[in-house]
Amino acid sequence: MTESSRPSNSAPIGVFDSGIGGLTVVSELRRALPQERILYLGDTARVPYGGKSAETVTRYSRENSDLLLTEGAKMIVVACNTASALALPSIAHHYPVPMIGVLEPGAAAAVKATQSGKIGVIGTRATIASQAYTKAIHRLNPELSVNAIACPLLVPLIEEGLLDDEITEAVLRRYLAPMLGEGIDTIVLGCTHYPLLKGVIAGICGPGVSLVDSAENCALAVKQLLGSDPSTELTPKLDILLTDSSEGFLRIAEKSLHLTIDSLSVRRAGT
């Protein structure tokens, strides 16, 4: 990309995820970088990514990234742990703008947070099967113990808006019991949907367990990457692109994350 074609500082930060989960990253970006324009692509037609093959997730991630780049994004945030684990390492070098995922910042925060050396990770089947968090944590400190558990029922429950529901709490207790029995003192919320359940998870785990929010730490990494050259945009905007209509998406954006959406349209990634 030449200097003349490089996106300006006031160009939007492009963010994508398979559904509503990446809005937790958008919420944290809004907190960390309040003047930035944000363009969010929610791939609601193909959610969830967690049970799909690496080849499929990589194809979806390329299509999402291409669409955000076409819309003028100055950087791309992969606000999906599954895509960060399975696709980002192989596609990042294909794009002329910076790309950042949620996995590495979350792993670094977990290493910093643990006191006992025992870390739990919860995520989708694909993220956990990739062992991406375990590998990232062990690159930083090979002496740490990592207990990673797939929680495939959580994303569908969250997409249905069942955030404060006894069924969701019962499922969480079932998933968390083994790692809590192992004495972990830190849990990585290894899916950007999961911060929407942070209060419930904290209540189950108790005050002795630190929760590492991958969305929060990703936003801080984006802020550091932009450094001293942030947007000069005076009026921040949040523009939403969905690949299929979703009533639950809007409800959670406004009610649970208190996000103000400036525009919303339905677009097809890959077309």
Question: Is the model's pTM score more than 0.85?
Answer: yes
**Domains within the chain, CATH numbers bracketed:** 3-101+217-266 (3.40.50.1860), 103-214 (3.40.50.1860)
User: Tens of pLDDT along 194-245?
Assistant: 999 999 999 999 999 999 998 899 999 999 988 756 566 557 899 999 999 8
Measuring CA to CA, which residue among 205, 133, 212, 156 is closest to residue 176? Answer: 205
> What strand order describes the sheet that includes 210-213?
145-150, 118-123, 186-189, 210-213
Question: Cα separation of 159 and 111, whole Å?
Answer: 30
Long-range contacts of 126-129 (CB under 8 A, 24+ apart): 126/49, 126/50, 126/51, 126/52, 126/54, 126/57, 126/82, 126/85, 126/86, 127/50, 127/81, 127/82, 127/85, 127/86, 127/190, 127/191, 128/190
- Judge whether residue 123 has pLDDT over 60: yes
Contact 186, 113 (CB under 8 A): yes
Catalytic residue among 80, 151, 205, 218: 80
**Which of 151, 191, 205, 218 does the annotation list as catalytic?**
191
Rounded to whole angstroms, how far apart are CA atoms 63 and 187?
32
User: Catalytic residue at 80?
Assistant: yes
Q: How far is CA 97 from CA 8, 68, 94, in A?
A: 11, 11, 9
Q: Can 151 be counted among the known catalytic residues?
A: no
Quickly state the pLDDT bin for 12 (edges 50, 70, 90): very high
Q: At what angle do helices 132-140 and 103-113 cross, to 10 degrees?
A: 50
Residue type at 248?
G
Query: What phi, psi does 128 have (nearest 5°)?
Result: -70, -40
Q: Which residue has the tokens 């929610």?
A: 42
